[in-house]
């Protein structure tokens, strides 16, 4: 009953007070005009504020996304040894946890940006009022007012809004700041801020800035350096410049004073810090291995797999913070680069200046600025790339740093805007000729397919076109081993006798008869398959291809991933287009007993937390992750790659190709004194000079030729132009070549044969002499030459005796013709059925 009475009492009071208020409001509304209009204005104002709030807050980003926000991080690339060789970054960024930030660094930012950070709720009313007053005082002047933003508001602006300068953006910023304070802790907000704040020199976050300005990690910064970093949010692109040095020191000292005022540091510590200079380091290019073609191929593959920017996914190349392990071997890469360059420069010789490497348009404005933005440069000895400012009889050259010098001894053909290479000389700079001829080099591990080195031209800074993977060239005679391998698979052996004679065939009414000839002409007789490959005989190759069947030859090319061609004999001599990468991979399969791997430059990719998200070697290893050993043999990976050729055929081909180095067209490599195999190649013209070969551990391929194919000169051959590149490569990396012999697979019989005839012998011993009469030859079971019969020996001896008789009679006849007749003793030869004695 009492409860009911209390409820009735409150209802009565509400009705009474409400009716009294309404009566008062109604009386004033009727009697006082100012009250009526004032009420209307207040109501409109409140309605406007509510509408504006609703309008601004309606499409604001969800602050909950900050709970899962990932700082955009660059991709870090490591070489095969695990050392960092490059990073793909458009901005300098490094993500740290809150605990990684030094306390004094945090305090420096609080003193400079937001001293009440730990007490406000996202918006500092005093700072906002000052900003409003400053904005009103500068309205119409063109000056930008102070922001008055708290650290939370800056997080909202940097991560959720744009940098638009407007009242609307400021209001949105304040709304979001309040929401952020409800969603995140103060430490989480500071962590986002210190990792994301733009601080100049393309650096975002304090760790990246510490590296950019002082070449230190944040944990190694001194107090004066921390205070300097804290001044950068106000003007990140100003305080790091030399001409604003005094302004930067003044602002830094102000921050130190604020730290003292907030009891963060002592006055004496501040005085000691003020006494120090800024100590800024010069801006430097990020450390990177000189492997531009290789690294660009890695970047291309990563973008294809994961995307380029954050919009493409969480693991994008320029935002995902990937850690990439590559197959790059920096020692071999340097050797490959230097070997190819040396040969290109040697070919260039005394041909003189071959023209500019690029041309800029003077009508487009500042030539130095154009050169700077073109990123054209060269990393060779003391060469520098510059742009011709003035042509004619007194040319001037300018470089990206703004220096301008006289260009000495330059041809009159130079024009303003030509980009050239030059070296410093007495009184100015002299031109250097970047070789017009180009080429490519690629080295691979034959057992795994991992590409160890890649050089796609003279210098990737002069152009990104990668001739090792993108240039389609005719391989010439380097394709012959796969023709011979097809012959081995279709009944021939290395000792089979092949005619070295003209081969003609009818191509139809329209094309008529086609005849093939050897390089340099000549030919005749019948020789072993081994000799034909060692001496690179075109006619023997065509005979083998036609006997084995051109469709079968083409199928071999396809199985080895060289290319897909029509079954015409010209393709057996290398008329089809392919790349250095494909040829090296095919030769690697020969070394790998016919098992071909996919060429790879990336071993595996980890996300920012270290989880492997992709790997090249995807073989399964059953039992490798057992909790406990089960006592059985150690689990092992299955075979890698695809079996594309009979292992025995592959070894037989490699064994013959060792003879190419020992006594064939690549004999100049014999002086390296290690087991090597390989094949030279020269295309019609000649337009391309090739060599592909190597050891059981490293296989390399290279070519030299003009980008727009034209005659290299009649003297050019693969043996004298491409093989020297390989020789320089090996000599520069001799410690990496183990000198192991090529190992034969099961099912290969090593038999002693006569090197010239291919016949089996029993009374000779193979030696290291490259021209030894007796050698070891590789045969498949039941294909080795049969044991010589007694009749074979008798016939051979009979022929030898008859030849001696013929020579003796010829000599006797010449003697008789010159002098008086005289009686000569007769020589008797006894021939018996059982042999010649």
Question: Which residue, chain included where needed, has tokens 């007769």?
Answer: 826
Say which residue the tokens 């002592």 belong to: 266
Q: Is residue 810 classed as helix, strand or coil in its secondary structure?
A: helix
Residue 396: strand pairing partners: 390, 406
Identify each DSSP E strand in 426-572 by its residue range: 428-432, 438-444, 451-455, 497-499, 503-506, 513-516, 526-528
User: Catalytic residue at 477?
Assistant: yes
Distance CA 789, CA 759 (A): 11
d(CA 462, CA 762): 60
| Cα Rg of the chain, angstroms | 41
- Cis amide linkage into residue 686, ω under 30° from 0: yes
Asked whether 754 and 774 are in contact (CB, 8 A), the reply is yes
Cα pseudo-dihedral 488, 493, 496, 498, rounded to 10 = 20
Cβ partners under 8 Å of residue 268, min gap 6 = none
Q: What does the alpha-carbon distance between residue 193 and residue 608 come to, in Å, rounded to a whole number?
A: 19
Record the tokens describing residue 579, joined without a space.
Answer: 């790349």
| Cβ atoms of residues 338 and 462 within 8 Å | no
Q: Is position 113 annotated as part of the catalytic site?
A: yes
Identified catalytic residue from 87, 107, 113, 296: 113
Q: Would residue 428 be called left, alpha or beta, if left means φ above 0 and alpha means ψ between -120 and 50 degrees?
A: left
User: Which of these, 536, 472, 524, 408, lies nearest to 709 by C-alpha position?
Assistant: 472
Q: What are the backbone dihedrals phi and psi of residue 76, each rounded to the nearest 5 degrees, phi first?
A: -105, 130
Active-site residue, from 149, 203, 316, 477: 477
- The DSSP-derived string for 4-28 is HHHHHHHHHHHHHHHHHHHHHHHHH
Residue with tokens 């305090």: 107
The CA–CA distances, whole Å, from 372 to 22, 126, 382, 397, 400 equal: 76, 46, 19, 14, 5
Residues noted as catalytic: 113, 477
């Amino acid at each position: 009953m009492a409860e009911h009475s209390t409820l009735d009492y409150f209802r009565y009071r509400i009705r009474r007070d409400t009716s009294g208020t309404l009566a008062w409001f109604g009386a004033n509304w009727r009697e006082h005009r100012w009250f009526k209009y004032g009420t209307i204005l207040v109501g409109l104002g409140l309605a406007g504020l509510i509408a504006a709030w609703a309008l601004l807050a309606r499409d604001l980003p969800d602050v909950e996304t900050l709970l899962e926000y990932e700082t955009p991080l660059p991709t870090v690339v490591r070489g095969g040894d695990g050392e960092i060789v490059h990073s793909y970054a458009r901005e300098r960024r490094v993500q740290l946890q809150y605990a990684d930030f030094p306390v004094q660094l945090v305090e420096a930012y609080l003193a400079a940006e937001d001293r009440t950070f730990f007490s406000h709720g996202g918006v500092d009313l005093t700072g906002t009022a000052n900003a409003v007053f400053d904005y009103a005082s500068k309205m119409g002047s063109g000056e930008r007012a102070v922001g008055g933003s708290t650290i939370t508001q800056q997080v909202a602006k940097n991560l959720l809004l744009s940098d638009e300068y407007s009242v609307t953006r400021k209001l949105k910023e304040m709304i979001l700041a309040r929401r952020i304070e409800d969603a995140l802790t103060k430490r989480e907000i500071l962590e986002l801020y210190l990792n994301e704040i733009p601080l100049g020199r393309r650096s975002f976050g304090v760790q990246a800035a510490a590296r950019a300005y002082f070449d230190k990690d944040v944990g190694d910064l001194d107090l004066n350096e921390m205070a300097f970093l804290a001044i950068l949010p106000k003007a990140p692109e100003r305080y790091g410049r030399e001409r604003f040095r005094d302004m930067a020191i003044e602002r830094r000292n102000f921050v130190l004073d604020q730290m003292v005022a907030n009891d963060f540091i002592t006055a004496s510590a501040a005085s000691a810090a003020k006494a120090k200079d800024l100590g800024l380091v010069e801006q430097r290019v990020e450390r990177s291995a000189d492997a531009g073609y290789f690294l660009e191929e890695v970047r291309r593959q990563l973008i294809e797999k994961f995307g380029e920017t954050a919009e493409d996914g969480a693991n994008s190349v320029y935002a995902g913070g990937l850690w990439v392990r590559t197959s790059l071997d920096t020692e071999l890469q340097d050797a490959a680069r230097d070997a190819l360059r040396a040969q290109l420069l040697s070919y260039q010789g005394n041909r003189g200046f071959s023209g500019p490497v690029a041309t800029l348009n003077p009508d487009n404005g500042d030539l130095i600025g154009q050169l700077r933005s073109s990123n054209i440069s060269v990393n060779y000895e003391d060469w520098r790339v510059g742009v011709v400012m003035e042509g004619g009889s007194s040319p001037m050259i300018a470089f990206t740093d703004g220096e301008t010098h006289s260009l000495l001894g330059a041809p009159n053909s130079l024009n303003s805007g030509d980009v050239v290479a030059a070296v410093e000389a007495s009184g100015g700079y002299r031109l250097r000729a970047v070789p017009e001829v180009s080429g490519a080099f690629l080295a691979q591990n034959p057992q795994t397919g991992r590409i160890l080195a890649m050089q796609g031209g003279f210098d990737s800074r002069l152009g990104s076109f990668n001739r090792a993977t993108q240039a389609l060239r005719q391989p010439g005679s380097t394709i012959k081993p796969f023709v011979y391998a097809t012959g081995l698979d279709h009944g021939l052996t290395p000792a089979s006798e092949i005619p070295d004679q003209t081969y003609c065939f009818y191509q139809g009414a329209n094309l008529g008869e086609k005849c093939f000839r050897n390089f340099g002409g000549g030919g005749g007789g019948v020789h072993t398959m081994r000799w034909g490959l060692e001496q690179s005989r075109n006619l023997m190759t065509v005979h083998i291809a036609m006997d084995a069947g051109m469709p079968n030859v083409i199928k071999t090319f396809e199985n080895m991933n060289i290319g897909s061609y029509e079954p015409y004999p010209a393709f057996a001599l290398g008329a089809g287009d392919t790349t250095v990468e494909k040829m090296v991979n095919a030769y690697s399969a020969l070394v790998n007993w016919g098992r071909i791997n996919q060429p790879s430059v990336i071993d595996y990719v980890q996300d920012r937390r270290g989880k492997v998200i992709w790997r090249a070697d995807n073989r399964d290893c059953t039992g490798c992750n057992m909790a406990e050993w089960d006592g059985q043999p150690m689990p092992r990976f299955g075979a890698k790659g695809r079996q594309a050729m009979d292992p025995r055929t592959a070894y037989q081909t490699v064994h013959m190709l060792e003879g190419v180095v020992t006594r064939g067209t690549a004999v100049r490599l014999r002086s390296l004194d290690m087991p090597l195999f390989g094949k030279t190649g020269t295309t019609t013209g000649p337009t391309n000079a090739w060599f592909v070969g190597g050891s059981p551990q490293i296989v390399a391929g290279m070519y030299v030729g003009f980008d727009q194919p034209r005659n290299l000169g009649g003297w050019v051959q693969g043996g004298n132009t491409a093989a020297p590149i390989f020789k320089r490569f090996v000599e520069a990396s001799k410690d990496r070549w183990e000198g192991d012999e090529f190992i034969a697979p099961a099912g290969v019989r090593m038999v002693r044969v006569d090197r010239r005839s291919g016949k089996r012998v029993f009374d000779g011993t193979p030696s290291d002499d490259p021209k030894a009469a007796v050698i070891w030859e590789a045969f498949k079971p039941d294909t080795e030459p049969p044991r010589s019969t007694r009749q074979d020996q008798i016939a051979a001896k009979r022929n030898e005796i008859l030849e001696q008789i013929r020579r003796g009679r010829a000599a006797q006849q010449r003697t008789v013709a010159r002098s008086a007749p005289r009686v000569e003793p007769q020589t008797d030869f006894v021939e018996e059925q059982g042999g010649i004695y």
